[in-house]
Amino acid sequence: MKLWGGRFARGRRDPLFERFSESFSLDQRFILYDLRVNQIYLKHLASAGALRQTDARQLIRGLENIRRWVERHPDWSRGQAAEDVHTWVENRLEREIGAPARKLRTGRSRNDLVVTETRLFVKDAIDKLERDAAGLMETLLTLARKHLGVVLPGYTHLQPAQPILFSHYLLAYFEMLARDVGRLEDCRDRADELPMGAGALAGTAFPLDRAALARDLGFARVARNSLDVTSDRDFVGELLFVCCLTLVHLSRLAEDLILYSSPALGYVELADEYSTGSSLMPQKKNADSLELIRGKAARVLGRLSGALTLLKGLPLAYNRDLQEDKAALFDGVDTTRDCLQVATQVLATLRIFPEKMEAATHLGFLTATDLADELVRRSLPFAEAHEQVGRLVRHCLSKKIGFSEVSEAEARRFIPSWDHDLARVASSPALAVEKRKALGGTAPFQVKRQIVLGENRLKELRKRLAERKL
Ligand code: ARG
């Protein structure tokens, strides 16, 4: 049964188009939202005098029966068909209570209904995404605390640059995720507006108390413009953008760990559970979990692009194109949640090889900047210090030796003031780490402080999320 039969010739339906235009297969995920929004809406409709209280009660009870039935039957939608979940509910209600079900649709449209449900879904999805992100942030902090003191080469251009603490490295991703959570919060706040009462586009002609309706449905505010709220899906695009950015961050983490787990570097090893082998090469252990995270970032980027393209050029107000928002939204959210959870497990089970990391800090002249800095402390202009150290590096490279193997006489050819102190600076990556004491630097005490601050920030986040559940 369609919700719009009257205007149309009977029996003129093409199964191809029925299948093409249905959204039930996707928006059945909204079933509990649909039932709840309808129930609360009916209550307010009765308060507005647009529906008799006895009718409202009967309709609400019917919807309640459906809700219980749905909750008892996790596979409730199997074998069911409808144009969309809203149509299914109305048809089902008619089976449940008969003719009075035909009053369900009073004063509302699927246009304000579907976007109300989408906004409720988005708010809940954001809570779940934040919870998943908090799990990953916690794992990063745990690892950072556990391995505090471990030094590894920091890279720029993927070339050895300066030594850093492994914990400092991990905290970089903590910061990225913390910003992603902030963006989720912003997005949640903008999504937190009530569409119901906007009707199909122009608003409802029944005297609904929309502020009270918003409170009952858990919205912070009422949407101020009915055309806007029934036809924009900017909040879907915004959430997908945040999902995308989160996955861009996870994708970079994945890329790092893929490189670090290559035997050429050997800083880490993935647990067997999150790796796969080769059907041909018996020795292979591949970091497929991380490669898939990288790949899924591309997929969600496609979803974002699809969602924005969907909106671009749509005339106001609702157009059926908007039905496609669900495919993008559901897939984007589900994929991002999966990636956050897999990344958490990969990290929680990751084997770390501190001695490999540490050994690598003695290759690649990571202390070159510290040598130059030391010369600056001895009043050499930095540019000159840079030149002297550069020439020493060049010499070492030609002799295939490191800073610690260079003799005093050799070193003095390039750095006239070379002495025991400079030799110590040159051969101590740990000292280089120690010196970066300014806020935000990799010195152990700063990193430790960041861990403590991070733990407090995480506690705040968890508190906020727990309060929201109530
Ligand atoms: N299934 C539709 C959607 O997801 C519901 C709204 C249909 N509205 C309409 N005027 N045809 O957007």
> Residue 404 has what DSSP assignment?
G
pLDDT for 6 equals 81
**Residue 38: closest CA among 82, 126, 101:** 101
Q: Which residues, other chains included, contact 393 with Cβ-Cβ below 8 Å and sequence gap of 6+? A: 365, 368
Domain 14-106 matching CATH 3.30.70.660: the answer reads no
| Angle separating helix axes 166-191 and 444-469, nearest 10 degrees | 30
pLDDT for 298 equals 98
Q: Which of 8, 25, 114 to mutate to test the pocket of ligand 1 (most atoms within 8 A of CB)?
A: 114
Burial readout 16-30 (b: 16 or more C-beta within 10 A, e: otherwise): eeeeeebbbebbbbb
pLDDT for 186 equals 98
Q: Identity (one letter) of the amino acid at 186?
A: D
Strand (E) or helix (H) holding 352: strand 351-352
Q: Is 226 a catalytic residue?
A: no
Ligand 1 centroid from CA 114, angstroms: 7
Binding site membership of 108 for ligand 1 (Cβ less than 6 Å) = no
Q: Indicate which residue of 21, 73, 262, 278 is catalytic.
A: 278
Q: By alpha-carbon position, which residue is closest to atom 7 of ligand 1?
A: 110
Question: What CATH number has the domain spanning 368-427?
Answer: 1.10.40.30
DSSP symbols for 376-419: HHTT--HHHHHHHHHHHHHHHHHHT--GGG--HHHHHHH-TT--
Query: CATH 1.10.275.10 region(s) of the chain?
Result: 14-106
Query: CATH 1.20.200.10 region(s) of the chain?
Result: 111-147+156-206+223-359+455-468
Q: 82: which 2 tokens?
A: 């409808």
Are the C-beta atoms of 288 and 276 separated by less than 8 Å? Answer: yes
Q: Indicate which residue of 157, 279, 379, 420 is catalytic.
A: 157
Alpha-carbon distance 81 to 25, whole Å? Answer: 8
Strand (E) or helix (H) holding 414: helix 408-414
- Give, in order, the Cα–Cα distances in Å from 30 to each of 8, 63, 119, 124: 28, 14, 11, 12
How large is the average pLDDT for residues 259-275?
97
Binding site membership of 113 for ligand 1 (Cβ less than 6 Å) = no
Residue listed under structure tokens 């671009």: 312
Ligand 1 centroid from CA 22, angstroms: 9
Residues, the chain, total?
A: 470
- pLDDT of residue 289 exceeding 70: yes
Binding site membership of 115 for ligand 1 (Cβ less than 6 Å) = no
Ligand 1 atom nearest to CA at 83: 1
Ligand 1 centroid from CA 425, angstroms: 69
pLDDT for 7 equals 84
**Residue 458: closest CA among 130, 143, 172, 126:** 130
> What is the per-residue pLDDT across 77-113, written as a single tens digit (0 to 9) for each?
999 999 999 999 999 999 999 999 999 999 999 999 9
Strand (E) or helix (H) holding 165: strand 159-165
Binding site membership of 320 for ligand 1 (Cβ less than 6 Å) = yes
Q: Identity (one letter) of the amino acid at 1?
A: M
* Strands in 183-277 per DSSP E: 193-194, 221-222, 268-269
Question: Rounded mean pLDDT of the chain?
Answer: 97
**Residue 390: closest CA among 369, 374, 375:** 369
Domain 111-147+156-206+223-359+455-468 matching CATH 1.20.200.10: the answer reads yes
Alpha-carbon distance 38 to 108, whole Å? Answer: 10
Binding site membership of 82 for ligand 1 (Cβ less than 6 Å) = no
Alpha-carbon distance 221 to 215, whole Å? Answer: 8
Q: Is 395 a catalytic residue?
A: no
Alpha-carbon distance 290 to 257, whole Å? Answer: 8
> What is the per-residue pLDDT across 146-165, written as a single tens digit (0 to 9) for each?
999 999 999 999 999 999 99
**Interstrand relation of 193-194 and 221-222 (parallel, antiparallel or unpaired):** parallel
Query: CATH 1.10.40.30 region(s) of the chain?
Result: 368-427
Binding site membership of 85 for ligand 1 (Cβ less than 6 Å) = no
DSSP symbols for 142-163: HHHHHTTT-EEEEEETTEEEEE
Ligand 1 atom nearest to CA at 27: 4
> What is the per-residue pLDDT across 383-424, written as a single tens digit (0 to 9) for each?
999 999 999 999 999 999 999 999 999 999 999 999 999 999
Q: How confident is the model at residue 2 (pLDDT cuts 50, 70, 90)?
A: confident
> What is the per-residue pLDDT across 216-238, written as a single tens digit (0 to 9) for each?
999 999 999 999 999 999 999 99
Q: Which phi and psi (to 5°) does residue 205 adopt?
A: -90, 0
Q: How confident is the model at residue 470 (pLDDT cuts 50, 70, 90)?
A: low
**Would you tell me how many other CB atoms lie within 10 Å of the CB of residue 319?**
13
Instruction: Quote the distance between the C-alpha of residue 150 and its chain's center.
Output: 29
Binding site membership of 84 for ligand 1 (Cβ less than 6 Å) = yes
Give the up-direction half-sphere exposure of residue 62: CA atoms within 13 A in the CB hemisphere: 24
> What is the per-residue pLDDT across 42-91, written as a single tens digit (0 to 9) for each?
999 999 999 999 999 999 999 999 999 999 999 999 999 999 999 999 99
pLDDT for 165 equals 98
Alpha-carbon distance 118 to 125, whole Å? Answer: 10
Q: 40: which 2 tokens?
A: 């609360």
Ligand 1 centroid from CA 58, angstroms: 26
> What is the per-residue pLDDT across 456-468, written as a single tens digit (0 to 9) for each?
999 999 999 999 8
Cis peptide before 264 (omega within 30 of 0): no
- Give, in order, the Cα–Cα distances in Å from 23 to each of 34, 200, 316, 388: 14, 18, 22, 70
Ligand 1 atom nearest to CA at 84: 1
